[in-house]
Amino acid sequence: MRSRLLVAAAVGSLVALAGGDARADVSSWLSLGGGEGAQLAQGSSTFNSAGAFTWAIGAGTSPLGPIVAGVIYRGTTYVGLGTDLGFGLRLTTGGFSRGDWGVALDATPFWRSWGGGSYGTWPLQGVLTLGSPWGLQLAAAGQYWDMGGGQGARGLFVALEFDLLRFTVMRQGSSERWWPNPNPAGGHERQVGFLF
C-alpha cells in the first residue's frame, strides 16, 4: 500500500512539473475617482449638486478581442446625499481593456437607500467612460427611471477616475513606448505592420 502511494505521488509530481504555463485571458477593472454630481428630487425644479466619489470593480472576456463584455460592480457616493450601489453589464473596446485609448459603456440598476424614495429607489444608470493610457479615464453617467416602480430618478455625475488594473497588469499599447509591460494579462496584442 505504501509503495503504491509513493508511486502515485511521484507520478502526480511529474505531471504537475511537466504542465505548461496556464494563462487566464480575462479583462479586469478596478477604478476610483471623484467629481461632481447632481440629483433631482420629485416635485423639485432645481438639482441638488454634490461632490461625487466613484469606484468600480469588474471582470470580462479576453482583452485581446475588439469588443470586451463583462460585469461591473459600481458605487457612487454623493456627499451629503448618500451612496448608490449596483451590479450590471459592461461593454468596452479592446483598447480600453488593454489599458490604452478606448471607451466603456456600463448599464447598471442601482439600489438607492437614501432620500426616502423621492430620488427613486432602483434607478437605472448608464455610464460612458473614455479611457486613456496610464489608467486615466473620464466617466459621465446619467440616471433615469426607477426599476422599483416608484418615483422616477433623474441625476448625473462626471468624474475623473484612475483604474489601477488598466495602469498595471492590463497595460499595453502606446504607453509601452516609455514603460514596457513584459507580461500583460491576456498576453500582448499581435502587432500588424509595425513594431514599437
Q: What is the pLDDT of residues 125-181, one digit of tens each?
A: 999 999 999 999 999 999 888 777 766 778 999 999 999 999 988 888 787 788 877
User: In residues, how long is the chain?
Assistant: 196
| Digit-coded pLDDT (tens) for 83-124 | 999 999 999 999 999 999 999 999 999 998 888 877 888 889
Q: How far apart are CA 105 and CA 126, in angstroms?
A: 7
Q: Give the predicted TM-score (pTM) of the model.
A: 0.79
Domain boundaries, the chain: 26-171
CA distance 3 to 172: 51
| Number of DSSP helices (H) and strands (E) in the chain, helices first | 3, 8
Dist CA 195 CA 173 (whole Å): 11
| pLDDT reading at 4 higher than 80 | no
Q: What does the buried/exposed string (b/e) look like for 159-191 if buried means 16 or more CB atoms within 10 Å of the residue's CB?
A: bebebebbbebbbbbebbeeeebeebbbeebee
* CATH class of the domain at 26-171: mainly beta
Do 55 and 75 contact (CB within 8 A), yes or no?
Answer: yes
- Alpha-carbon dihedral of residues 144, 145, 151, 153, nearest 10 degrees? -10
